[in-house]
Amino acid sequence: MRDRRWVWVALVAAPLVVSAQTAPKDITGLSITPPEVTLRSADQGTHVLVTGTTGDGERIDLTAAAHFAPAEAPAGQIVKLGSDGLLYPVRQGDTKVTVTAGGKQAQLVVHVGDLSKPPRITFIRDVEPVLNKAGCTSGTCHGSAKGKNGFKLSLRGYDPEFDYEALLYDLSGRRFNRADPARSLMLAKPTEQVAHGGGLRIEPGSRYYNMILRWISDGVPFGNAAADRVEKLEVLPGEVFMHGPDKSQPIVALAHYPDGTVRDVTGEANISSNTPEIADVDANARVKGVRKGEAALLVRYEGKFVAVPVTVLNPNPGFAWQPLPQNNYIDELIDAKLKRLKMQPSPVVDDAEFLRRVSLDLTGLPPTPEEIRAFVADQTDSRAKRSRMIDQLLARREYVDHWTLKWGDLLQVSRRYQGDKGMWEFREWIRDSIAQNKPYDKFVYELLTARGSSYENPPANFFRVTRSAKVSMEKTTQLFMGVRLVCTQCHDHPFEKWTQNQYYQMAAFFSSVGLKPGFQSGDEIVYDKREDNEVKHPKTGRVVAPQYLVASLGAPPIPGNAERREALVEWLTSKENPFFARAIANRMWSYFLGRGIIEPVDDIRASNPPVNEPLLEALTKDLTDHDFDLKYLMRTIVNSRVYQASIQTNVWNGDDHVNFSHAMPRRLSAEELMDGLALAAGSRINFPEVPPDTKAEEFPDPHVGRDGFLDVFGRPARESGCECERRSDVSLPQALNLVNGRTVADAIADPKGRVAKLILAGSTDRAIVEDLYLAALNRFPTAKEYDAAVSFLKAGESRAAWAQDLLWSLTNSKAFLYNR
Amino acid sequence: MWRVTGLVFAISLAASAAAPELTELDPRGAQRGKSFTLTIGGKNLPEGAKVLSNLPATFTPLTPPEEKMTAGRKLPFLVELKADAAVGTYPIRVETPDGISNILLFAVGAFPEVVEEESKPESREHSNDTIETAQRIAAPVIVNGTLNGSDRDYYGIHARQGERLVFEVEARRLGSAIDPVLSIVDASGRQIARNDDAPALGMDSRLAVTFPREGEYYAIVHDARFSRQTQNFYRLKVGSYPYADGIFPLGWKRGEKIDVEFFGGSFPAPVKTSADLSAIDPKLDFTRLNVPGEAGSLPFLFVVGDLPEKIEPAHSAGEAVALDPATVMNARISKPGEVHRYKLAVSPGDHWEIELGARSLGTSRLDGVLSIYDAKGAKLASAGDKPPKEDVFSLLSAGRTSSDPWLDFTAPKDAREVVLTVEDLLQRGGAGFAYRLVARKQPPDFMLTVLEPYVNIPAQGSSSVNVSVNRHSFPWPIQLSIAGLGDDYIVEGGHLPGEWKDDAYSISRRGMLTITAKPGAHAMKLTEVAIWGEGKTGDGAIVRRKAQCLGMITEVAGGTGISDAEDRENQSPFIAPWLGLDLPVVVGKEESGKIEPDAPRVLRLVQGTGYSMKWNFKGRNPDAHPPENVAVDVASPAAAEIAVRRAKTEKKEEKYAEKGEFSVLTTTHSSPEKYDMVLYGESKDGESEALVTPAITIEIVQGYTVAAPQEPVALPAGGKAELVGVFHREPEFAQPVSITAEYLPAHVICQPAELHAAEKEYRLSCEAEASAKPGEYEFQLTPASVVVGLDKREVPYKIAPVTARLIVLETKQAAR
């Protein structure tokens, strides 16, 4: 809970600062952030932000336009404004600075300590941040896996102890000249006084140069590992809201230390935007709006991270919110966001289009012509009949097949890993779980605690894919928490708080999982190893005790080796776990709306915030309140107006791709395409590895029909559990396959197929056209389409051949290829 | 205790060209007391072929359809099955003048039998693969069906509300290669129940369904892998009959009576019945026990042993029970997490073989872990709690499967008692977790398995018999022999060289021997012979073991052929050692000719040398065609030891291999052991005829040996002496050998010696300076030479140095 609270706070509770280049005239109030600062060292300046409040309550950044007037003191000024815009101390004392902007004034309280006794410079508090800022610890420089030119530092300085020792002891300590600190190699290299492959990193005589010089002169103290580490990073403002592109807003990063001191580290912090094409940030920590939309800034300093949401509003005038039906809380929360962003959502689709969309999304199959006719003809209130149809689809066998396929992808059901029988058994277990609507937490519990024969207890097949503690952990965290820890195997996470220690602590939960051959050919037994059953840290070689990734309620005490998995899964599947329900709620959402509220769905991290935190929070809560009933969650999502929105856009939401203001067309998956094609053509495409009439979405693994149509259209090989493995791109081979491929051609010309049946039944041209449109595009043709298609049929010598051509054309259209 | 773990299958060279071969029985089973027509299908089945079976029935030949007779592939019989025939399985084979066939199993059931319509010859494929096209059946019934690849057979049955029916598929237990999966769906296709592998049925399936409402239901049968198999039959049994999930104990001593408990399945409480083992054939390691009550279930296999047996006595939890040596303890892990402890009295240095029989005996669910602890509780050894080492594992079986654990254990110094523990790997327990534990004090042991289920020896020809050895910790050579053959037959080969690479686990290797009928040998009637292996331990103890015979083999094809890098999809074959057969041998028809190699029967090769072996085909008559291919099979194939390469083949009529040449190559590091090899010809005019040569034994020898002088050489400081020792050279090794003295004491030098063809001793002139320190020293004599390979190239050739002793004497001593 704690880890995502900041986002909620940022969105709901934090003051909004609206940036403006120049001060508007109707400023009614002025505030300074922070309102009080303490300075302790002559070379340590600090930023302050000046914010004006307009008559209608908007808050506007006025820092650039503000005038700072330090109060006069008998002994002279206590602070001064530097050319870089920072306030610097001049001498010890307390004072006030009068800030004037937009015709208003406010006062900043400043305390200056004894400048003759500046805080001691230490490696951990002062030098490492400079090495990081100068790029010495970057992955392209000395922070790379093998270091650079014989000098290795930890990536982005995640391991100060290691870096300190590397500086001190590598090259037999020749990096420091204690007798003449200015001639130290540590200064000579980055200032290019001697040749340096990395070029000039620190200007001689600069603040950083002087600081390192002082540090060497003081005897290169490491510092106090506890007291000198940053306790908290604070970024001001907490959220940036800009009334259009071309506006900007300065950012201030404040490091809080355990002793209560606060230091402005804006200059040393690493600040980046996740969407620079919407909001970019310059070297002076000023974020600039580029175009309408939303972005997030990631501010990193010494292992601490803060994400700052940035919104650039539509600058066009005339927006007036048009309320649309509110089917459930999803609509309310989406609309709240859209209204704030000045985006008008699109209305819902018609019944035929809804039926196609929801059938494909819930069952992987388009509706049949008969189903469409019946649904459209039904005069019941549209919302009620849609809801009823949703329930019917959720009860179908095809629903089970469709979601078995999805989980088969994620859990890598494949004879390559599990052998033929293991693969079929694993798939059957998944299928049975979905058919039972097994609560998701129970499903995961059974999977991750599975032991025994992979034939007798099929979820044990999970471990036939992972095969090691590390991979089991990586897959568990990515799949069920949406957290990627792979990079922390070698170093602390560069964009998150996860450490290398945590990687091994989490892996230790799987340390006892062993595999041995079973009593039947091809089987393997998952068991708890009694020896060699601990994970060791690669640096220390010591056994790492298991520890939960984050502390949360519902975390049981960690028991002995063989029961660790149970403890882990209890923690993982607890309703209080901050990741578990959230990750699956987000993933489920993405299946119906085309993208996650956090995207990618399996990369949840501070620097990748949700586009609508209240919505994700609400979906998560709804899921846990309903005991992880995924079918319930699906039903809720597809009943929403948001899900049923049209792909047609309006002037206010045309360029929105992330806020769900309209539906996004999605290319059908490989299996949906093949099954849709079979249904449209009234044909059945058979494969020797599976029983006749097996639909593509029933295929147990990617071996069936390998190297054919399905693979061209992006069926995943199930080499990983990443959603990204299923490709939804569009390619030339796909186009050629549709135009000239045998799959389409054979299906259309099937002697028992739809066209053959229509012709043999003596159907009229109009009936043929209508049936083909309904079968392929799942809608009635328009009057224009009727006319054009009927004349097309009449023009040919062979009505059958031309009907085949018509069906070919329809199945090659975007309307067929996309879920829209 | 019986088990088969070490099966490395070899090229089968036991079948002669015209010998009969069975591939099909139609039907696969029958209701007891009924008469029926049995059609036996296969190859080389001439009219008059005799059925060999213990099926309680008469077999009256019928006239086969003419076209079938031409091909010799179908033989019909009128079978009158006795009314009291027990439900169970019965082997059927045929004998013709050309030899005997393989065995197929025939089932006798208690219910009326029908045939799956789709499996009839005139039917379409996939004609009962949907609910709409399901074949109607009515209980009780047994359906004889087949499955091909992605076939899924549907059977429709009407059930009343609350009716309980048992659905069972008999397949693998009858020798089918199918691994059946059974499911029951309702009329809407909704699955009500599903089973792949049922308790105590191995890979076969069973479901007991109480139907929720009256209506139509469907039983669906398919192969777990949707694989294509030659033996692809199954029997779907539907009815209401008693069945059990397991028995306890799993076996007992021959000649005794024991109460056996059947539990689970349709029995709400365990039911006991008495098993009388007083008249069990000494050859049988198993008998069958019927499930109490009305007939319906196939009988359970029950181990019959020759050691004393005990049932685990009542004792308090955690208490260690005394385990008598060479006595089988029958017990079961009755609760999850339970650990059984046994005290075993030992003497330091005693070697013990400790075996646990459980899962591989057929009905137990125990994945056993066997551990030994010393008196202080320190673990000395364990098995079953980890996978075998990978290199050994890959040798253990084609299907790479686990076996029940065993331990070879030598009691440590000061040990007077050890504690054995038995538990389930997964900490499970229950009625079905039974085991048989035995500890025997004996030298390191090995087990042998004959890989051919039967042998047809061609008149005046040879057949090979392959034997797999499963060494526990027995690394020494083993010699195979055959008992029961008369003087008219020559047995050759049978060498299993020592395995010194890993003493921690069993190493599975293949040995091969050949049986050759002498010219003029009397025709032999069907005879069962025993194959024995004998080896001598390092202590000189003789270990002699009889090889297990498999009875029958059904090869099982993998699934769709996709397997991972570790080939886990390779399937273990079905075998039936419980048939209790030794190796059936007959003499059949003379072959078309012989392959005659020019190599001697024992080919001695010095390490690093080779032999160019020429062969030619000699027909029995001028019209005889040579085989299309001639190849070489070396038993215990160790690539590092011997390589055989085809040098050339001369063809006749561009098709038949008439003569040729192979290069038999060794390396300078090939182990000096004996290996067996045969040449064989294959495939002639579309029919296979295995022409096999008698075994050629390749004896790899060291080129020469150097013996250290028996007495130390006395060398006075400041003086000279001659070091003289025995040198032996193989006749085939002609290269000069140099012998150099190394690691001599300071101030002592010996001149190297070079030995040529006829020399039988070596002499090194040694000299000590006056400063040499008196005393006795060890030094090395290092021989070196070259060896000339088949390609005429010289390769450095060294044998292990020899340690010799030297005494440097003080000058005064020398003077005296």
- pLDDT at residue B398, rounded to an integer: 54
Compute CA B169 distance to the chain's CA centroid, rounded to the nearest angstrom.
27
- pLDDT at residue B399, rounded to an integer: 59
Nearest residue, CB atoms, A688 vs list B149, B360, B400: B149
For residue B386, the chain A residues in CB contact (below 8 A) are 514, 516, 529, 531
**Preferred mutation among A520, A565, A685 to probe B, highest tally of B CBs within 10 A:** A520
Query: pLDDT tens, B775-786?
Result: 999 999 999 999
Residue contact A420–B152, C-beta within 8 A: no
Nearest residue, CB atoms, A517 vs list B126, B130, B402: B402
Please provide the size of chain B in residues. Answer: 816
Query: pLDDT tens, B290-320?
Result: 999 999 999 999 999 999 999 999 888 889 9
For residue A703, the chain B residues in CB contact (below 8 A) are 560, 562
Where do we find the tokens 């309702």?
Answer: B186
| Closest of B217, B222, B230 to residue B205, by C-alpha | B222
**Which letter, b or e, does each residue of A322-349 get, where b requires 16 or more Cβ atoms within 10 Å of its Cβ?**
eebeebbbbbbbbbebbeebbbbbbbbb
Query: pLDDT tens, A730-748?
Result: 999 999 999 989 999 999 9
Q: What is the C-alpha separation between B692 and B617, in angstroms, rounded? A: 11
Q: Is A397 exposed, middle or buried (0-12, 13-18, 19+ CB in 10 A)?
A: middle
Confidence of residue A436 (pLDDT cuts 50, 70, 90): very high
Work out the angle at residue A100's Cα, subtended by the Cα atoms of residues A95 and A105, and round it to the nearest 5 degrees.
80
In angstroms, the Cα distances linking B766 to A105, B723, B807, B812 are 111, 7, 12, 19
- pLDDT at residue B351, rounded to an integer: 92
More confident residue, A655 or B693: B693
Nearest residue, CB atoms, A420 vs list B130, B382, B560: B560
- Which DSSP string corresponds to A101-116? ETTEEEEEEEEE--TT
Residues 6+ apart with CB under 8 A from B192: B184, B185, B186, B209, B212, B217
Average pLDDT over residues A47-72: 85
Q: Does A692 touch chain B (CB under 8 A)?
A: yes
Torsion region of B5: left, alpha or beta (phi above 0 gives left; psi -120 to 50 gives alpha): alpha
Confidence of residue A598 (pLDDT cuts 50, 70, 90): very high
Residue contact A420–B556, C-beta within 8 A: no
Closest CA of chain B from A712, distance in Å: 21
Query: pLDDT tens, B351-402?
Result: 999 999 999 998 999 999 999 999 899 999 999 998 876 545 455 455 567 8
Query: pLDDT tens, B214-260?
Result: 999 999 999 999 999 999 999 999 999 999 999 999 999 999 999 99
Largest CA-CA distance found in chain B, in angstroms, rounded: 117
First and final C-alpha spacing in chain B = 70
Q: By CA distance, what is A705's nearest residue in B?
A: B560
More confident residue, B17 or A447: A447
Q: What is the C-alpha separation between B745 and B808, in angstroms, rounded? A: 9
Residue contact B360–A521, C-beta within 8 A: no
Residue contact B399–A451, C-beta within 8 A: no
Q: By CA distance, what is B180's nearest residue in A?
A: A421
For the four alpha carbons of B108, B109, B111 and B114, in that order, the dihedral sign comes to: negative
Residue B720 one-letter amino acid: K
| Closest of B207, B211, B208, B210 to residue B181, by C-alpha | B207
Q: What is the C-alpha separation between A333 and B810, in angstroms, rounded? A: 107
At B658, list the tokens. Answer: 């008439």
Nearest residue, CB atoms, A521 vs list B222, B367, B400: B400
Q: What is the C-alpha separation between A346 and A348, in angstroms, rounded? A: 7
In this predicted structure, the answer to whether residue B566 has a pLDDT above a threshold of 60 is no
Q: Does B267 touch chain A (CB under 8 A)?
A: no
SS3 per residue for B162-227: CCEEEEEEECHHHCCCCCEEEEEEECCCCEEEEECCCCCCCCCEEEEEECCCCEEEEEEEEECCCC
Where do we find the tokens 């085949």?
Answer: A804
Residue contact A455–B196, C-beta within 8 A: yes
**Preferred mutation among A414, A421, A464, A690 to probe B, highest tally of B CBs within 10 A:** A421
Lowest mean per-residue pLDDT among A5-14, A764-773, B550-559: A5-14
Q: By CA distance, what is A395's nearest residue in B?
A: B190
Q: Evaluate whether A22 touches A101 at the Cβ level (below 8 Å).
A: no
- Which DSSP string corresponds to A136-180? TTSTTTTTSTT-BTTB---GGGS-HHHHHHHHHHGGGGTT--SSS
Query: pLDDT tens, A191-248?
Result: 888 888 888 888 888 888 988 888 988 888 999 888 889 999 999 998 898 888 888 8
- pLDDT at residue A395, rounded to an integer: 96
Work out the angle at residue A283's Cα, subtended by the Cα atoms of residues A279 and A286, and round it to the nearest 5 degrees.
45
Residue B721 phi/psi, 5-degree rounding, is -155, 160
Q: Is A670 exposed, middle or buried (0-12, 13-18, 19+ CB in 10 A)?
A: buried
**Preferred mutation among A420, A433, A449, A701 to probe B, highest tally of B CBs within 10 A:** A420
Residue B552 one-letter amino acid: M
Q: What is the C-alpha separation between A412 and A478, in angstroms, rounded? A: 14
Residue A659 one-letter amino acid: N
Confidence of residue A11 (pLDDT cuts 50, 70, 90): very low
Q: Round the average pLDDT of chain B to a whole number and report it.
A: 89
Strand partners, B107: B29, B89
Q: Does B572 touch chain A (CB under 8 A)?
A: yes
In this predicted structure, the answer to whether residue B561 has a pLDDT above a threshold of 70 is no
Task: Kindly report the number of other CB atoms within 10 A of residue A70's CB atom.
Answer: 18
Query: pLDDT tens, B12-25?
Result: 554 556 789 999 99
For the four alpha carbons of A234, A236, A238 and A244, in that order, the dihedral sign comes to: negative
CB pairs below 8 Å between A and B: how many?
A: 128
Residues 6+ apart with CB under 8 A from A13: none
Q: What is the C-alpha separation between A688 and A680, in angstroms, rounded? A: 22
For residue A435, the chain B residues in CB contact (below 8 A) are 191
Query: What is chain B's alpha carbon radius of gyration, rounded to the nearest angstrom?
Result: 32
Q: Which of the 8 DSSP states describes residue A410? A: H
Residue contact A455–B151, C-beta within 8 A: no
Q: Round the average pLDDT of chain A to a whole number and report it.
A: 90
Confidence of residue B639 (pLDDT cuts 50, 70, 90): low
Q: Does B556 touch chain A (CB under 8 A)?
A: yes
Helices A613-625 & A580-593, crossing angle to 10 degrees? 110
Q: What is the C-alpha separation between A671 and A713, in angstroms, rounded? A: 9
Q: Which of residues 156-195 of B touch A (CB under 8 A)?
A: 179, 181, 189-191, 194
Q: What is the C-alpha separation between A210 and A181, in angstroms, rounded? A: 11
Torsion region of A661: left, alpha or beta (phi above 0 gives left; psi -120 to 50 gives alpha): alpha
Work out the angle at residue A326's Cα, subtended by the Cα atoms of residues A323 and A331, and round it to the nearest 5 degrees.
95
Sheet holding A17-19, edge to edge: A27-33, A49-54, A59-61, A17-19, A240-242, A304-312, A293-301, A270-273
Closest CA of chain A from B488, distance in Å: 42
At A670, list the tokens. Answer: 């490989």
Residue B816 one-letter amino acid: R
In this predicted structure, the answer to whether residue B660 has a pLDDT above a threshold of 90 is yes
Residues 6+ apart with CB under 8 A from A136: A142, A143, A153, A190, A198, A201
Query: pLDDT tens, A146-181?
Result: 888 888 888 888 888 888 888 887 766 678 887 888
Q: By CA distance, what is A420's nearest residue in B?
A: B225
- pLDDT at residue B560, rounded to an integer: 60
Compute CA B757 distance to the chain's CA centroid, rounded to the nearest angstrom.
47
SS3 per residue for B24-72: EEECCEEECCCEEEEEEEEECCCCCCEEEECCCEEEEECCCCHHHHHHC
For residue A421, the chain B residues in CB contact (below 8 A) are 179, 196, 224-225, 559
Q: What is the C-alpha separation between A438 and A433, in angstroms, rounded? A: 5
Q: Does B222 touch chain A (CB under 8 A)?
A: yes
For residue B222, the chain A residues in CB contact (below 8 A) are 691
Q: Does A719 touch chain B (CB under 8 A)?
A: no
Q: Evaluate whether A132 touches A230 at the Cβ level (below 8 Å).
A: no
Average pLDDT over residues A358-386: 97
**Helix, strand, or coil here: B636?**
coil
Please provide the size of chain A in residues. Answer: 820
At B133, list the tokens. Answer: 């096209």
